[in-house]
Amino acid sequence: MPSRQLNLLGQPSALVKSNLYFRKEKMKTIIRNPTIVTASDTFIADVLIDNETISAVGVELDVRDATIVDGEGKYLLPGGIDVHTHLDMPFGGTKTCDDFYTGHVAAAFGGTTTHIDFAIQPKGGGLKDALNIWHEKARDKAVIDYGFHVIVTELNDQVLAEIAELPAQGVTSIKMFMAYKGILQVDDDTLFKAFEMCRDVGVLPMVHAENGCAIDVLVKHELAKGHSDPIYHALSRPAKLEGEATGRAIALAEVAGSPLFIVHMTCEESLGQLRAAQDRGAKIYGESCTHYMFFTLHDLDRPDFEGAKWVCSPPFREKKDQEAIWKALRNGTLSVVSTDHCAFKFDGQKSLGRDDFSKIPNGVPGIEERMMVMHQGGVNDNRFSLNQLVALTATNPARLFGLEGRKGSIAAGYDADLVLWDFKAHATLSKENLHSAVDYTLYEGHVVKGVPQKVWVRGELVVDGETFLGQPGNGKFQPRKVFEV
């Protein structure tokens, strides 16, 4: 079994040193005879990469001075686009352990070439302040391409006016939280006013839909009863409260006449609301995240505090909810699979909540695992087609978030963000061969058939088998077009 024994990487400083004078000259590359997979087609052809873009797709392309890559017997997929990640993000007195370097390296090894991260409006500050902070975090470290959504935490007239200015800064989506009371949660007037503004300026609003007020009460009840274990995190956030918040957000968006993107949907209750809204013709879109298809709330009950690794919000649900998610992915109710990669180390970060589940940092890693486990669980296990995998992990995210025409597909004129996918190779996922800075993977021991073999970001070969070739600073901020789906 050709398992991937991947190199452990040095810190960015070491790479910067060794590569400072060796910025590789980009040249033409031909990928010969791969099976090209897009959201709509599967066909065999050559792909010519010229500098940063795909300059031709065709049979027996004849080009001199091109590096030839043999793609026969492999898939060529558009690079994955992950529109939900939290790199270098402060949370509950700590911060996520992957920054824009380690997170990007992990993403690249997993076949993801673009992501959209969340810039949080600072207390008392504006949306530009948020973007300035996050640009600074990413600029010198990035090895894949990236964009930002802005998280709106407090809305006054000035901030409302700033939403209108976001598209000029290449940012065409905002997010608001209906949970995390007293920290990130916004009220219904904020949601409604923001939706109205988004409608007028072509910005796509996103919500984290859980009823944070009721959850706050339930958490206090559990703690008062002396219930401190990780499982009570899940038990204090029932699916009905996700369903309620989803329905409320949808109603507000429909009345405001705004589109809406609902992040990390986990259960029958919320998916039913999404489906009903779409049946009414409303422009409501949904995302689920990889981990919800592979684990349930019972994983939070693992002994010795190990369940803390599975603490995220919304929480893991039941088997029936997993089936509801797979079905919604298959029939098109859900448009996107992201990771919500929000990595906290078990040792030293998750452990902050050893005596109180409400203090466990919320979030799980998955930026590297996404494409492999979705290919395994979706395609190999016959839940949806290979074309649907591409749609869910690249094409739909590009279309909804203003990257269409440049990213998310394979065609002449598109950025050469490509993954040569060895669908016959097996890998056993393990902390030992993954690249995030986190000290665990939820998928420890999971076997997948189908792994990225080579990965290009705008024509630059960043992953070649087990070797990382990318360079910090080469990943670029991607200004996005206004929402017009």
Binding residues for Zn ion (CB under 5 A): 340
- Name the residue among 57, 56, 35, 53 with its Cα closest to residue 44: 35
Question: What gap in Å lies between CA 402 and CA 15, rounded to an integer?
Answer: 32
CA dihedral 264, 234, 154, 341 (to 10 degrees): -40
Closest to Zn ion by CB, 105 vs 207, is 207
Closest to Zn ion by CB, 75 vs 295, is 295
Q: Which residue is nearest to Zn ion (CB)?
A: 340
| Residues 60/102, Cβ–Cβ less than 8 Å | no
State the maximum Cα–Cα separation within the chain, in Å, rounded to a whole number.
73
| Residues 274/242, Cβ–Cβ less than 8 Å | no
- Name the residue among 176, 113, 99, 199 with its Cα closest to residue 437: 99
Q: CB of residue 313 vs Zn ion: minimum separation in angstroms?
A: 8
Using CB atoms within 10 A of its CB, is residue 153 exposed (0-12), middle (13-18) or buried (19+)? buried
Q: CB of residue 159 vs Zn ion: minimum separation in angstroms?
A: 21
Closest to Zn ion by CB, 196 vs 369, is 369
Q: CB of residue 211 vs Zn ion: minimum separation in angstroms?
A: 17
Q: CB of residue 8 vs Zn ion: minimum separation in angstroms?
A: 28
- Establish whether the linkage from the previous residue to 314 is cis, with ω within 30° of 0: yes
Closest to Zn ion by CB, 175 vs 476, is 175
Q: CB of residue 336 vs Zn ion: minimum separation in angstroms?
A: 13
DSSP secondary structure letters along 393-406: IIIHHHHHTT-TTT
Closest to Zn ion by CB, 269 vs 340, is 340
Closest to Zn ion by CB, 145 vs 340, is 340
Q: CB of residue 184 vs Zn ion: minimum separation in angstroms?
A: 10
Q: Can you tell me which residue has the tokens 């309620």? A: 244
Closest to Zn ion by CB, 39 vs 184, is 184
Question: What gap in Å lies between CA 100 and CA 472, rounded to an integer?
Answer: 9
Q: CB of residue 342 vs Zn ion: minimum separation in angstroms?
A: 6
Under DSSP, the state recorded for 332 is T
